[in-house]
Chains A and B, each alone.
Chain A
């Protein structure tokens, strides 16, 4: 990858990070105003990891399995914040039409899996999409499968990762270690020294990066995804960060020690990315401010639009869970 290509990718990823941050911030405010049903789950601290994995993928060709804190990845992949907002607001115009909420949305026809709440369940689904592509003669598609430190404990994850390794699928498993699974710290989640050990156990090539360091993350993801695309088999990427928010917006994360929070005070991925891009001379202060302001405007207009859209009606709902129905005689 030459310098210009890297710059283009970096700027695209950075813009996705700003968009996701603006979206999450607005969403949190709307949640606290009582405008959103259920819960709100934001990705503060995850933006660099998500954006850097999503930015290398081709929507409609590759497979992307975003997880709970992947708004930046969705933006980098090419989904609009309007679609995410529609899922949260249960808009009848959204892909999920009010039948699903918050982060549970996807568009399998474009390559994203609509995740279910059960952690690890989407890993094998993504594997199936990759197997199908192989059967269909597509050899250079990859799949990025997002999991977290908590998900590595789930049996379904193990079954699926082993299967991916056995089938040598072009999958990149991104393990975002944000140190807490809801309130459970790493020490109570796993006992291996590093989560990389798990990838090694499956027989995958492993990578690790500081997920708060934008440029480092961009490079590591780029390598891993390129390797998978080149047919080198599944890649296991452990990206370390801290969840810089609660599990959901109902949660104040008071169980995270203050010292730990303080140690990440100057490691907000957005701050780091702005500084790095500025230092490289790729973006001026003014350009950064302009991007931030454009993202805020786009989020604002998406949120305004979605609140005016029709909500699903129980009366016109068909209440049918199958596409095929038997003939009645």
Chain B
């Protein structure tokens, strides 16, 4: 009977692996096409893996808690020939090995040569060989604190330790580098502390933040008047989420100045193709960032339903793949936690994040009535890759954002 593999799907552009949360079926179970059989947790989402055809589960080769690479076979379904034909499912071959590419053959001979050769090499034939030049693969010397020996790196991989974790260690090697002895001593020290394992979500946030921190991230902020939004929201029948106002204001401002969300790669700055914006949602032990598409193209009112939906999905950690990845900037409303000021971090795949502080009622002198009057204010803070933009660009961007926030009817 044909055997159809259950594969770990590619659950996002940069996802290489996922952790098995729950096995929803057992060997021997009958399954239908498209049925969810395994629940997995990736970087930022819990998702169900489905099967591509109906049949009987003959084998499951993964266990709950295990981390599995994308494309790995997690189990086998035995399906009928008809079902395979109908579903178009890919069947495992006899040896389970892909056929080797057929050798390119040619039969040139060189007349009169002492020996004949087949498929002679001729200059200019075939693809040119790239001799590199994309950066040096190894450090030029070992004298420096930055240098981690192959042995330390392999130990770090083994133990899931990152370079950031070594901040604690004072190196005793040449130029202050950490030697393997320093490293092993550090491990002994660490073993003396109480600890708990890091969840996949936490690990993913840690990895993101660490990668983002390799860039020179600067922050700049200013206050805005919140009364217009509060009033607008109070009078709105559907009570749009506060964060949505900021998303919309940021979208309009970025549509006018997309260079503020440029992304630097090598000698180039990538320009946003669309104004797709993320919204940071705090969940258990981490943060999820669903991305809404073309936020500049729709009005606040048009976005309310979608916004509510993605936030709810994020809270359940069951994001529709349409809302995963591809953003150019993110809004993080830390005001919800009573914070008035924070320095948010952009995602490693973005250069810009807009933070929103909590609303405070502060006394402001009024020249009109010649007394202090209570005014509702909040801070907005932008963190950005300083290689891409400068404070002036961000100041102008923030000014636009403030303008729209103070005129919510334009949103």
Contacts and interface: CB of A to CB of B under 8 A. Distances in A.
Contacts of A252: 112
Interface string B105-116: 001010111111
Contacts of B115: 38-39, 250
Q: On chain A, which size bracket covers the interface? A: under 10
A312 interface: no
A34 to B, nearest CB: 8
Contacts of B107: 34
A190 interface: no
A251 B116 CA distance: 12
B112 A37 contact: no
B109 to A, nearest CB: 8
A248 B116 contact: no
Nearest to A182: B114
A38 B118 CA distance: 10
Contacts of B116: 37-39, 250
B111 to A, nearest CB: 7
B391 to A, nearest CB: 65
B196 to A, nearest CB: 42
Most buried by B among A37, A250, A251, A252: A250
A169 B112 CA distance: 41
Interface in B181-223: none
A29 to B, nearest CB: 16
Contacts of A37: 116
Contacts of A34: 107, 109
A172 B266 CA distance: 76
Contacts of A250: 111-116
Interface in A238-258: 248, 250-252
A34 B112 CA distance: 14
Contacts of B113: 250
Contacts of A39: 114-116
Interface in A24-70: 34, 37-39
A47 to B, nearest CB: 24
Interface in B86-127: 107, 109, 111-116
Contacts of B112: 250-252
B110 to A, nearest CB: 9
- Which residue of B107, B109, B111, B116 has the most chain A CB atoms within 10 A of its CB atom? B116
A217 to B, nearest CB: 30
Nearest to B113: A250
Nearest to A36: B116
Nearest to B109: A34
Interface in B219-273: none
Interface in B269-305: none
A37 B113 CA distance: 13
A115 to B, nearest CB: 17
Nearest to A31: B116
A252 B115 CA distance: 14
Contacts of A248: 114
A38 B111 CA distance: 12
Given A34-B107, A37-B116, A250-B114, 13 more contacts: A34-B109, A38-B115, A38-B116, A39-B114, A39-B115, A39-B116, A248-B114, A250-B112, A250-B113, A250-B115, A250-B116, A251-B112, A252-B112
15 contacts: A34-B107, A37-B116, A38-B115, A38-B116, A39-B114, A39-B116, A248-B114, A250-B111, A250-B112, A250-B113, A250-B114, A250-B115, A250-B116, A251-B112, A252-B112
Interface of A: 34, 37-39, 248, 250-252
Instruction: Please give me the 9 A-B residue pairs with the lowest Cβ-Cβ distance, nearest first.
Output: A38-B115, A39-B115, A250-B112, A39-B114, A250-B113, A250-B114, A248-B114, A38-B116, A251-B112
